[in-house]
Amino acid sequence: MATGDQEDCARRIFGVLPAGWFRPALDDNPRLRAVLAMPAALGAMLFDGIGFARRQTRIATAEGGWLDLAAFDFLGLRVRRRPGQGDDAFRQRVQAEVLRPRNTRPALRRLLLDLTGREPTIIEPGRVQDTGGYGVAMGYGAAGRYGNITLPGQAFIEVRRSLTDGVPGCAGWGGTIGGYGIGAVQYVSADMAASGIADDDILASIAATVPAGTVAWTRISG
């Protein structure tokens, strides 16, 4: 017996019945148990429904379409469930986006690292730490980039696509390069097989993170 199940509800109802000849122990009265079965079943259904409704009011516990609705409420269409992505993986993405810092270089770096799992290259042409300068180690084709102090509020970003999109290196259904216990085959979950982030998603995420009035020149490479 668990809290809120049919047996628990039947005993709760039995506990408030008036005393009398029909109040022997519930286990010894099959007729009374049968009478109480319907309201007890209804009570258990209502208890489950209340618990389900309560879970859908928080991102941390929402399920299925309710989690998608919560993501839409907070983030619009900018963050959507990927094909085959389960609740737990999608929930982590939504929570990270809701609490994500914005408008700073560290915030942009963290965003791109979270999206792709690879370190981005961010160059601000007016920032000497990126371009090098007098007394700072630099050289043609080595450390340092071309700088330009006439490009305020602009940055050049190179994003490298994720190396873990889908399940790389494994045979597909009907393939001939593996078999049970041998070769390039493995069991995968829906989350593992889901397609990776699209280039348009990367660009949209950058646009939502950089400060207003700035320009982020972006190159996406493999």
For the segment 173-202, the average pLDDT, to the nearest whole number, is 64
**Within 10 A of 93 (CB to CB), how many other CB atoms are there?**
19
Residue 26 predicted with pLDDT over 90: no
Looking at the chain, the number of H-run helices and the number of E-run strands are 8, 5
Rounded CA gap, 152 and 124, in Å?
Answer: 9
Count CB atoms within 10 A of the CB of residue 143.
Answer: 11
pLDDT of residue 82: 85
pLDDT band at 53 (very low <50, low <70, confident <90, very high): very high
DSSP-based three-state secondary structure for 48: helix
- Condensed to tens digits (0 to 9), the pLDDT of residues 141-175 reads 555 677 888 888 999 999 999 876 555 556 656 65
| Other C-beta atoms lying within 10 Å of the C-beta of residue 127 | 15
Percent with pLDDT over 90 in the chain: 45
What is the predicted pLDDT for the residue at 169? Answer: 59
List the chain domain ranges.
6-55, 71-221
Task: From residue 165, give the alpha-carbon distance in Å to each of 13, 133, 198.
Answer: 55, 39, 10
For the cut 70, the answer to whether the pLDDT of residue 183 exceeds it is no
- Residue 51, C-beta contacts closer than 8 angstroms, at least 6 positions apart: 4
Q: Cβ(116)–Cβ(157) under 8 Å? A: no
Query: What number is the average pLDDT over the span 11-36?
Result: 76
pLDDT of residue 84: 87
Range in 90-94, 120-124, 170-174, 189-193 with the lowest mean pLDDT: 189-193
% helix, strand, coil for the chain, step of 5: 40, 10, 50
| Mean pLDDT value of segment 164-192 | 59
Mean pLDDT score across all residues of the chain: 83
Residue type, 21: W
**Which of the residue ranges 27-31, 58-62, 159-163 has the most confident prediction, judged by mean pLDDT?**
58-62
CB 91 within 8 A of CB 83: no
Separation CA 26–CA 37 (nearest Å): 12
